[in-house]
Structure 1
């Protein structure tokens, strides 16, 4: 039996039970979950191995690559600028980034970058990975790219390009990379251990993630068929670079790919989301008005990439209304999952901040059974 470490407040014991069940039933290797309520931690658990090959134990400061859970963090950076009045979400992107106006994109508002409506999920020509890690080559390619659908008429998941699009707007406004803005303006005041652009001195803390084999992915009933069609938008949106990035590559950890390469702890992910809806040790990141706008439905329906019927706020996934399974259990919750199971979300109704990370990466699906089990356990405690 895997030893569970950490602390849990009275009344939240079912979350510990759910966490233990993940190790018993879901082939968990190493993982952590944290829950904040009304600005204080009520669940902070970790267990297992950070590296199954060496036996290195998972500890409270183990860092996990969280894939698309990074997108929620990137959205928060943009929303902080909007809240301060430095960014007008309804202004054209080209007002901040003039080169972006090429190929008829001059009227696309910043808002559509956050809601995946810009029509720019792919590049006609893939960028060599070594160049993509330098930032500018991808940004230049996106500025020159023609949208693959009329912007604003549909939404489709910008799996990789989202981070460069939003990140370049942040850079044009602040003169700093998105990772630097996150570190200086959000992570430092909150004492977060979350990075977009991980310093070399922290690389030793990164867990060794285990991915599914391709044949296992194809056998997964939840893996969309379009993920295996090389001509589909779904495949192309994940192949912006040549070769594809490797989440185990320290060069990728050190670069900034604000759609996917966030590295952090479950505690920091939960603490950040908690600070969107409550004051955490004297710090609140977003005010109620900004949270209300960010968590309002901006676009919904079947998206163009994977065919999921989903709803987006401003950079955040929102709970469905049609009874479909969702990683977001609370009707007012908002957040973002990541490939492999990572999840961060907030719930203003209950003052919640939630973070889950794991190094046994699940199949590419919208709902991971481990994070869903944990989220349901949290809400069961509230009721």
Structure 2
């Protein structure tokens, strides 16, 4: 698919200026921002280095491991599964994956998975980061997990279980792993090979950016009330720099370029991947309540939190997307036809950079809002 480029010089210049400032002041080390508006690429900006150890420069073609921002790819594949007719949003997970029905989870549906309301937000405690590369072990453990609530009654962020839930439903329905479905259904038809990955081929590892912790990575004290294990809650550069993790199919996280992920969401908005009826269905409010993991108010569409970060919770939710641990951010806006992506190499405990750039983009594209 040939990409239509119609740059917005003012916005491109403003975004580039912010990126340069962040690198010059040492707040960030390497960043990418891409914005599509009404089907055209209007911002494609980078700054800093992809690898601070070698000085290799950041480019628009440098993939970056971006933690949960990769969930936009996971959710899209779930919607493409529904589009294909092999599953529906109301299909019980156990219909495809019988073992998952254990301990009262038999009522859980794909809709519940997409709204993080299945009730298995945390990885079973015998699963650690090194086990994420063992698909069958992780899925067996999740299938045997006892839910923390009756599926569909509460919501709580399924940090790492989410990707395996979607992925195992997809594998049972199609016989194919998520990395293959991403290639066949998204990257190949959209011309985005080399931009979006669940599992990076070994030959491509040298192209990737190298992550760094903003400060020495803290070891969290034990928290008896915490639902998620420390490694599920705190993004660490070591995970995103691990060749084993990077090469594994772990669709709770993803590796991508800002340009590629923004192009993917632009195609979603434009109707290239699903029709307008399904887009309306998947972006409507599907669950609203208190997140049982973090305690914040959550308003979810099917597979995405609704609302742009930093906007009032009562604002009409026309944006949907995902933040990624360490500060990356991807969203699409159905009202303005905007697709925004920002990813970076320095992992920060806040989203100040993402919000600043997202606010700047929204103000320039829709100045009278």
TM over 0.5: yes
> What residue is the counterpart of 1:34 in the other structure?
34
More deviation, 200-209/296-305: 296-305
> What residue is the counterpart of 2:282 in the other structure?
294
Structure 2 residue 224 is matched with structure 1 residue 231: yes
- Cα gap change, 1:49 to 1:301, in 2 (>3 Å): same
Would you say the 8 A contact 1:39–1:274 is kept in 2? yes
CA shift, 1:285, in A, is: 1.4
Would you say the 8 A contact 1:274–1:353 is kept in 2? yes
> What residue is the counterpart of 1:164 in the other structure?
164
Distance in 1 of aligned mates of 2:135 and 2:266: 30
Structure 2 residue 182 is matched with structure 1 residue 208: no
Any idea what the Cα deviations from partners look like across 1:224-269, whole Å, max 9, x if unmatched?
Answer: xxx75432334438459xx998221100000011112x11111001
Distance in 1 of aligned mates of 2:360 and 2:128: 44
Equivalent residue in structure 2 for 1:277, among 269, 282, 285: 269
Equivalent residue in structure 2 for 1:381, among 358, 364, 367: 364
RMSD: 2.7
Distance in 2 of aligned mates of 1:244 and 1:124: 23
CA shift, 1:156, in A, is: 0.3
Would you say the 8 A contact 1:31–1:356 is kept in 2? yes
> What residue is the counterpart of 1:222 in the other structure?
none
CA shift, 1:311, in A, is: 1.0
Structure 1 stretches of 4+ moved >6 Å: none
Structure 2 residue 355 is matched with structure 1 residue 369: no
Would you say the 8 A contact 1:122–1:237 is kept in 2? no
Q: How many residues align?
A: 357
Counting only pairs closer than 5 Å after superposition, residues 99-178 of structure 1 correspond to structure 2 as 99-127=99-127, 129-178=129-178
CA shift, 1:7, in A, is: 9.4
Any idea what the Cα deviations from partners look like across 1:320-354, whole Å, max 9, x if unmatched?
Answer: 7995489xx98411111101111111112211111
Structure 2 residue 183 is matched with structure 1 residue 196: no
Counting only pairs closer than 5 Å after superposition, residues 34-73 of structure 1 correspond to structure 2 as 34-73=34-73
Would you say the 8 A contact 1:103–1:144 is kept in 2? yes
> What residue is the counterpart of 1:309 in the other structure?
297
Distance in 1 of aligned mates of 2:280 and 2:146: 33
TM-score normalised according to structure 1 size: 0.86
> What residue is the counterpart of 1:354 in the other structure?
340
**Secondary structure at 2:346 match in 1:** coil
Structure 2 residue 59 is matched with structure 1 residue 76: no
CA shift, 1:293, in A, is: 1.4
- Cα gap change, 1:229 to 1:323, in 2 (>3 Å): farther
CA shift, 1:74, in A, is: 0.1
Unmatched 5+ stretches in structure 1: 1-5, 219-226
**Secondary structure at 1:335 match in 2:** strand
Distance in 1 of aligned mates of 2:141 and 2:327: 30
Would you say the 8 A contact 1:356–1:371 is kept in 2? yes
Distance in 1 of aligned mates of 2:14 and 2:227: 37
**Secondary structure at 2:95 match in 1:** helix
Distance in 2 of aligned mates of 1:321 and 1:9: 23
Distance in 1 of aligned mates of 2:237 and 2:143: 21
Would you say the 8 A contact 1:343–1:371 is kept in 2? yes
Distance in 1 of aligned mates of 2:164 and 2:92: 16
**Secondary structure at 2:223 match in 1:** coil
Unmatched 5+ stretches in structure 2: none
Would you say the 8 A contact 1:65–1:264 is kept in 2? yes
